[in-house]
Structure 1
């Protein structure tokens, strides 16, 4: 099956501050804040929603197409994607911009200060879907370029291509009308429980109304698993046990990859979410969003230990 993964490609640049931010911020001077944190070092990780989802789909044996824009500093990320065997045909190059980048400083209490440069993400990917066969294609519109997030669901719904709408961290950048259009008629709406509340607040729709507009609503609940809502039906999916939580960042993208894998296998949304749970468990056991590894046989064994044999 052809899988289109629309979203972002980004460098995550992570810095560790050995002290506490609170010790260096004077409450009575917050209006003229001017601080400098001397960090222990910097780690650069490959990230972005499209990159993370595609990476995990590749581990699951699929051949996704990344639909995103990258900048003039993309060489290292490109080499990594080639190493992973991922296609580059859907990536648009913007020579005048840097690839999107998150600059994250974390103190000893796990408080974070983040700066995000969208860079090339300001440009649409311009990937054509005219030649895609609706019977053999599935797409996900994950957080990335705002125009792509709206345009690709619109095109997919018009062509009859199953589409997963995933507004995520860009919910606050979209209007209620835009979000309502995106989720109306979508085959799947996926978010975590906090994001779902933001969608309700922004669109002024009730949960029942959202479920009535999207065919399937998937809500991830972190360590509590996920919930699948279809019409009046609601199914709760248990989480896959995790040996050692290292970093929850990227778990949502890994869940989405597993869910898509389940759909490619012809599974119901409920069973697809179980595959998503196992996929997310691997992600949280490693620092970074593209650091985990597994074989399909190992994945099936872990699935079986939690949910029974994967047919």
Structure 2
């Protein structure tokens, strides 16, 4: 299966606040909010939703095509080489002549709450990427449309509908600013819709759709719930509940949802059922949350498969061992 991953590629500046943001918030003064948090460290890492998902897929034996707009620093600072060495096809990446690669600053507190600021930079040129041309050159079986330049997300979605290309709607962080009309355009007709539980509620609130109406607009709905696992609602409306792995020592939640998506899509590409796809996603997500940085984990085949089998059973583990080429 040829998977194409459209979305952001960014440099992540990760910081940790030794306290809780909520302690500095005065509920009846939020309209006058002015806060400053002293952080103890700074890690600069490779990131961006599309980069993270593509990296996870490559680690699970896929060769996804990255569909993104970046600056020249993407090559100069070694990010492109890093992804290509992992197994990601970067030949379709658009390189801006004038703008830097996007920059994401993420500050995490002791409760794993996060404050994020994002400079889009070259990402604003993603709207110039023609998915139809990419599909004509090398047919795409499934296109994930992740958080990106808003015009690019809309163009990719409309193009996918026009050419009959199955797509995954993964609006994620862009839901915060998008209005109901745009959200409806981004998700309607998607083969899969990915959100976390908060984002699922936000989709309903902004579109004015009920949970049933959201589900009717898409094929399969996948809702991640952090330590509480994942809910998958299949095309027939059947709910599948998948628990997260137990005993995980969380170091940094950044990029965990992206890695889950990569794992889920790798399972789809291998022809596995939805429950097993979600289990693969949860297993790789555990590796990410235990490390600082979104692409700093290493998947060893035997360790990954043993961890999967311990969580979800030997029979499921055997199916995954036969289907996935974990690096």
TM-score band by shorter chain is: 0.7 to 0.9
CA contact (8 A) 1:12 1:47 kept: yes
Query: Partners in 2 of 1:15 and 1:220 — Cα distance?
Result: 24
Using the TM superposition, give the Cα deviation of residue 187 of structure 1 relative to its aligned residue in structure 2, in angstroms: 0.5
Give the one of 205, 227, 230 matched to 2:231: 227
Query: Partners in 2 of 1:71 and 1:238 — Cα distance?
Result: 39
Query: Partners in 2 of 1:156 and 1:45 — Cα distance?
Result: 32
Query: Partners in 2 of 1:300 and 1:108 — Cα distance?
Result: 31
SS of residue paired to 2:14:
strand
Q: How does 1:186-201 map to 2 (within 5 A)?
A: 186-201=190-205
Query: Partners in 2 of 1:261 and 1:81 — Cα distance?
Result: 17
Q: 1:24 to 1:301 in 2, by over 3 A?
A: closer
The residue aligned with 1:104 is 106
Using the TM superposition, give the Cα deviation of residue 181 of structure 1 relative to its aligned residue in structure 2, in angstroms: 2.2
Q: Given the alignment of the two structures, is residue 126 of structure 1 paired with residue 129 of structure 2, yes or no?
A: yes
How many residues matched?
309
For structure 1, which segment, 206-215 or 85-94, has the greater mean C-alpha deviation from structure 2 after superposition?
A: 85-94
Q: How does 1:9-28 map to 2 (within 5 A)?
A: 9-16=9-16
Q: 1:31 to 1:86 in 2, by over 3 A?
A: same
The residue aligned with 1:179 is 183
The residue aligned with 1:262 is 267
Query: Partners in 1 of 2:85 and 2:102 — Cα distance?
Result: 21
CA contact (8 A) 2:2 2:139 kept: no
Using the TM superposition, give the Cα deviation of residue 192 of structure 1 relative to its aligned residue in structure 2, in angstroms: 0.3
Q: 1:232 to 1:288 in 2, by over 3 A?
A: same
Q: 1:221 to 1:15 in 2, by over 3 A?
A: closer
Query: Partners in 2 of 1:203 and 1:265 — Cα distance?
Result: 34
Over residues 41-67 of structure 1, what are the superposed CA-to-partner deviations in whole Å (9 max), with x where a residue is unaligned?
532111000010011111001001111
Using the TM superposition, give the Cα deviation of residue 178 of structure 1 relative to its aligned residue in structure 2, in angstroms: 1.8
Q: 1:19 to 1:232 in 2, by over 3 A?
A: closer
Over residues 199-221 of structure 1, what are the superposed CA-to-partner deviations in whole Å (9 max), with x where a residue is unaligned?
00110000001111111111001
The residue aligned with 2:308 is 303
SS of residue paired to 2:73:
coil
For structure 1, which segment, 93-102 or 73-82, has the greater mean C-alpha deviation from structure 2 after superposition?
A: 73-82
Q: Given the alignment of the two structures, is residue 281 of structure 1 paired with residue 286 of structure 2, yes or no?
A: yes
The residue aligned with 2:322 is none
Query: Partners in 2 of 1:153 and 1:32 — Cα distance?
Result: 36
Using the TM superposition, give the Cα deviation of residue 108 of structure 1 relative to its aligned residue in structure 2, in angstroms: 6.8
Using the TM superposition, give the Cα deviation of residue 301 of structure 1 relative to its aligned residue in structure 2, in angstroms: 2.5
Q: Given the alignment of the two structures, is residue 144 of structure 1 paired with residue 148 of structure 2, yes or no?
A: yes
Query: Partners in 2 of 1:310 and 1:161 — Cα distance?
Result: 32
Query: Partners in 2 of 1:39 and 1:4 — Cα distance?
Result: 37
Q: 1:114 to 1:262 in 2, by over 3 A?
A: closer
